[in-house]
Amino acid sequence: MRLTLPNPGLEDRILSHAQLEKLELEEAGERPKWDNKAQYMLTCVGFCVGLGNVWRFPYLCQSHGGGAFMIPFLILLVLEGIPLLHLEFAIGQRLRKSSVGVWRTVSPYMVGVGIASMFVSLLVSLYYNTIIAWVMWYFFNSFQEPLPWSQCPLNENRTGLVSDCARSSPVDYFWYRKTLNVTPAIDETGGLQWWMVLCLIAAWGVLYVCCIRGIETTGKAVYVTSTLPYLVLTIFLIRGLTLKGSVDGIKFLFMPDLAELANPTTWLDAGAQVFYSFSLAFGGLISFSSYNSVHNNCEQDAVIISIINAFTSIFAATVIYTIIGFRATKRFDDCLGGNILTLLNTFDLPETNITVHNYDQVLRDLNATHPNIIQDLNLPTCNLNTFLSEGVEGTGLAFIVFTEAITKMPLSPLWAVLFFIMLFCLGLSSMFGNIEGVLVPLQDLGVFPKSWPKEAISGVTCLVCCCLGLIFVQGSGDYWLALFDSFAGSIPLLIVAFCEMVGVVYIYGVDRFNEDLVFMIGHKPNIFWQATWRVISPLVMLVIFLFYFVTTISKELFYIAWDPESEKFPTLEKKPYPSWIYVIIFILAGIPSLSVPGAAIFMAIRKWRDKHLDSSSPPKKKMSVN
Amino acid sequence: MWVWIVCLLTAAPALAEPLCSKEVCDNYGYKVRISIKTALGDKAYEWNESEMFLFRATVAFAMRRYTSDETYNVSDIVVCNKTARVSFWFLVTSPANTAQLVPRGQVEAAVRLSRNRINSAFLLTDQTLQFVGILPTLAPPISYDTPPWLIVFGVVMGVVCAGIITLLLSTLLKRTRSKKNLLETEEEEDRRGSITANGRLCESLREKDPGRGHPDDVHLSKL
């Protein structure tokens, strides 16, 4: 398809190949550069590999047919993830600007795409750093034995345990009461929780130190933040495999259920996971690759980073499920042990009569002889698969399920410290990309005066974000975070990614793009890239976007709340959102999405007005075009 | 006298039996459940009469400790309704009068006081040597003067602040040094009499690549 939309003035806005070559040789550009290739690769890997690889992918894998989920995941990785990644790397390397600069160069009407990326990066940074603050809180609390989430605290009279804790569990209590101090509904703000404010300040402080001079400091920090998670995952894998029940966990995770492949939700979830996991459309990747040398082989980089990302997802899933298998086996053993004890006590049988092996047989015999007594006992049924499928995702996995598993391992504080350092590094390296996607567009848009040094710009941005992030450290902060996560970080990104592909292929021109790639890496991209860029990837993005849009519009919106007063406590209660939340949702999802057409309309009006002014004023000697 | 002894011997079992009846046990006794295999696994010992003797002796010790009355003896502890579970009921009779039973409250208080000692005699815990009705005493919570998390937080914030200050200072120093250098070379240029407008451009080029000299000067002079 040789369809290219008219794009006047493109040649004037971009540097020609000759100019790029000269820039490369003279090194006369003001743009910062990577110290070496390793820094660039580690930064991109760090940005792509984030918390989602650890706590979203394992859940999706297990709930969509285990090993069978690999098939849609890998297919969509190749058809959607790698082409988009290559596109962003190449366009950033070629036009050598941030996301706003790149799209403004491609066409002034496309500046909205860059602005949308910036808004999304900003909204995501706000809540993502709050998650890092939570991780830091748990990290700070891991330096004690016994761990504070391993036992319930006593109530005031010291007669028993605190009632909320006794009814749920120590880990739940520590998460919902001691960490979040969560209110029962999103309407009740609950005030700022001072300990979380301190942790939030710590999180933004650490981020500021690492981003204070842009990639000059970030590039040094990634040597630690991008490599440490792999080390910790390996340690956990070795430790996990020595625990009882770990292999059950891995078998449960990877047991293929090919029937799930017929379910369209599986494919859509796989597509969404690939897309969000690669941190595409945030603008950070475009920025990072703009600091590269012009002849850097971006094709190779895209393929390598995609493979690393997929491998990390699978590796992390394995590690997580060894520990979940251990926890489920522990729970199963405790459940069975409790039932056996109850039976022994009720019937006064010697201890050796009922063991784990003959439990079922004995229960049947006793049920035949004394059915009434057995019924009165209300013995819970112990099923290992039920415990294994209690697998959760998101913060529930990290802060409830995994922390509980850690308390059951010997040397718990050590494992807790290692686990939370790993989560911290994963989150921080992703934050570098998010902040890059906010800082550099702000500079390109001219929001800050040019005389300000880099340190001041990053300082002001971090300070403003920290203050805005105070929403999430209130009592109702967790509900706000879930809201932001569902709406700010989902639909606008899909729109931006679709517009990016359309922009490069049809507005910038795929022929010009191919020539640029020949100049940069020495050979024309082969038929695979051509097919995916022009047809396949945009189609996949469109399908995922429509699906998301339709499900979001049609479903009833509710959130899950921790309400000790509710009847179903300790199960979380589904509550509908109050009506004013819909305004907030519109702001979160609508403003970034609408800035794409909005900016285009604004630029069109400005151009029409300029033309009008030119034609109405007396004709003067034409100056050279700006 | 022989008649009295015979009467006493025949009467003793008759006296003992009502002691193990349900009403007496409910009002004065406590049920004990022992789970040795659960607690000790492979190292579990056999529960026999000698162990029972030890149990009665420890309860007598508990009564002695609580009442500070050193007349309690093993014979004052009566055990009944033994089962294969290893569970039984026990009652405590007063040493002065074997017909009088010590009230439940006193027995409970005595056991609570010496619970730890009784447990350790059998290598068991509050859950495996269970006195049904006597709740295990809850361990007092560990209280810290400063919560440990604040200490770690302080350390991390200290490192972060030190890092920020170091980086800002180094930038400031670099700037003042480069400004000083600029002023010095500008004065030199003034003395030499060359155009100051180009001075800065020359300076920045010279900073970038001191090796290059004339070719760039030729290029610049065209402007």
What's the whole-number mean pLDDT along residues B108-130? Answer: 87
The pLDDT > 70 percentage for chain A reads 97
Per-residue pLDDT tens over the stretch A566-605: 887 778 888 899 989 989 998 998 999 999 999 999 999 9
Q: What is the pLDDT of residues A119-131, one digit of tens each?
A: 999 999 999 999 9
A437 pLDDT above the threshold of 90: yes
Alpha-carbon span A199 to A134, nearest angstrom: 7
- A residues 318-337 closer than 8 Å to B (CB): 337
Between CA B43 and CA B52, with CA B46 as vertex, the angle to 5 degrees is 125
Cβ-contact A340, A261 below 8 angstroms? no
Q: How far is B67 from chain A (nearest CA, A)?
A: 25
pLDDT value at residue B218: 42
DSSP assignment of A556-590: PPEEEE--TTSTTTTSPEEEEPPTTHHHHHIIIII
**3-state secondary structure string across chain B:** CHHHHHHHHHHHHHHHHHHCCHHHHHHHCEEEEECHHHHHHHHCCCCCHHHHHHHHHHHHHHHHHHHCCCCCCHHHEEEECCCCCCEEEEEEECCCCCCCECCHHHHHHHHHHCHHHHHHHHCCCCCCEEEECCCCCCCCCCCCCCCHHHHHHHHHHHHHHHHHHHHHHHHHHHHHHHHHHHHHHHHHHHHHCCCHHHHHHHHHHHHHCCCCCHHHHHHHHCC
Is the predicted pLDDT of residue B151 greater than 90, yes or no?
yes
pLDDT at B220 over 70: no
Closest Cα in chain B to A198:
B153
Q: How far apart are CA A397 and CA A457, in angstroms?
A: 36
Q: Are B148 and A351 within 8 A, CB to CB?
A: no
Question: What is the pLDDT at residue A114?
Answer: 93
pLDDT of A279 higher than 50 = yes
Residue A263 pLDDT > 80? yes
**Rounded mean pLDDT, A380-386:** 88
Reply yes or no on whether the pLDDT at B103 is more than 80: yes
Residues of A in contact with B35 (CB under 8 A): 341, 344, 351
For each of the domains in chain A, give its residue range(s) and CATH number, in order of start: 10-616 (1.20.1740.10)
Compute the distance between CA of residue B68 and CA of residue B63 in angstroms, rounded to an integer: 8
Distance from CA of A183 to the nearest CA of B (A): 23
* Alpha carbons A358 and A344: distance in angstroms, whole number: 13
Residue A11 has which token pair?
């040649």
C-alpha span between A434 and A331 (Å, rounded): 39
What local confidence, expressed as pLDDT, does residue B40 receive? 83
Model pLDDT for residues A20-46, shown as the tens digit of each residue: 888 887 775 678 889 999 999 999 999
B165 has a chain A CB within 8 A of its CB: no
pLDDT the model gives residue B133: 82
The pLDDT value recorded for residue A377 is 82
pLDDT of residue B106: 86
Residue A49 annotated as lining a ligand binding site: yes
What pLDDT, on the 0 to 100 scale, is given for residue B71? 82
Which tokens belong to B139? 């361990």
pLDDT score of B148 more than 80: yes
Instruction: Select from A141, A345, A453 the Cβ nearest to the Cβ of B149.
Output: A141
Query: Does the distance separating the beta carbons of A348 and B87 come in below 8 Å?
Result: yes
Measure CB to CB from residue B85 to each of A139, A209, A350 and give the nearest one.
A350
Supply the mean pLDDT for chain A. 89
According to the model, what pLDDT value does residue B14 have? 47
Distance of CA A14 to the CA centre of its chain: 33
For residue A132, the model assigns a pLDDT of: 96
Q: How many angstroms separate the CA atoms of A523 and A507, rounded?
A: 22
pLDDT, one tens digit per residue, over B43-62 is 888 888 898 999 999 998 98
**pLDDT higher than 80, residue B200:** no
Statement: residue B221 has pLDDT above 50: no
Give the DSSP H/E element, type plus range, for residue A608.
helix A591-616
Does any CB of chain B come closer than 8 Å to the CB of residue A28?
A: yes
User: What size, in residues, is chain A?
Assistant: 626
Q: Which candidate, A74, A559, A509, A42, places its Cα nearest to that of A273?
A: A74
CA-based diameter of chain A, in Å? 109
Q: Return the bridge partners of A592, or none.
A: none
A455 interfaces chain B, CB cutoff of 8 Å = yes
Cα B64 to its chain centre, rounded Å, is 32
Angle, CA A277 vertex, CA A414 and CA A496 arms, to 5°: 145
pLDDT in tens, A142-171: 999 889 999 888 877 777 788 888 888 899
Both structure tokens of A537: 């990837």
Residue of B nearest to A349 (CA): B85
Mean per-residue pLDDT of chain B: 78
Residue of A nearest to B152 (CA): A140
Mean pLDDT within A231-246: 94
Is A109 a residue whose pLDDT tops 80? yes
Partners of B34 in the β-ladder: B129
Stronger pLDDT, B10 or A347, i.e. the higher one: A347
User: What's residue B73's pLDDT?
Assistant: 85
What ipTM does the predicted assembly reach? 0.86
Of residues A199 and B202, more confidence is placed in: A199
- Cα–Cα distance for residue pair B57/A464, rounded to 1 Å: 72
Q: What percentage of chain A reaches a pLDDT higher than 90?
A: 58
Distance between CA atoms of B136 and A210, rounded to whole angstroms?
Answer: 52
pLDDT, one tens digit per residue, over A392-430 is 788 888 899 999 999 999 999 999 999 999 999 999 999
Contacts of A511 (CB under 8 A, 6+ apart): A2, A4
DSSP-derived pairing of the beta strands A558-561 and A573-576: antiparallel
Task: Reduce the DSSP state of residue A161 to 3 states and report it.
Answer: strand
The predicted model gives A426-449 an average pLDDT of 92
Q: What is the pLDDT of residue B216?
A: 43
pLDDT more than 70, % of chain B: 76
CA angle A321, A322, A323 (to 5 degrees): 85
In the block, which residue shows the tokens 């729970």? Answer: A331
Average pLDDT of the residues in B63-80: 84
Ligand-binding site membership of A309 (annotated): yes
- In chain B, the domains with their CATH numbers are 22-132 (3.30.70)
Decide: A10 and A511 in contact? Cβ < 8 Å.
no
- Work out how many CB contacts closer than 8 A connect A with B: 79
For residue A459, the chain B residue with the least C-alpha distance is B164
A124 and A488 Cβ atoms separated by less than 8 Å: yes
What confidence score (pLDDT) does residue A71 get? 92
Would an 8 Å CB–CB cutoff place B84 in contact with chain A? yes
User: What confidence tens digit (pLDDT) does each residue in A53-102 have?
Assistant: 999 999 898 888 888 999 999 999 999 999 999 999 999 999 988 899 99
Most confident of A159-173, B71-85, B148-162: B148-162
pLDDT the model gives residue B9: 58
Q: Do B153 and A202 touch (CB under 8 A)?
A: yes
Does residue A622 surpass a pLDDT of 70? no
pLDDT value, residue A549? 87
Instruction: Please tell me the distance in Å from B47's CA to the nearest CA on chain A.
Output: 11
Question: Given a cut of 60, is residue A273 above it in pLDDT?
Answer: yes
Sheet of strand B87-92: strand arrangement = B77-80, B87-92, B30-34, B129-132
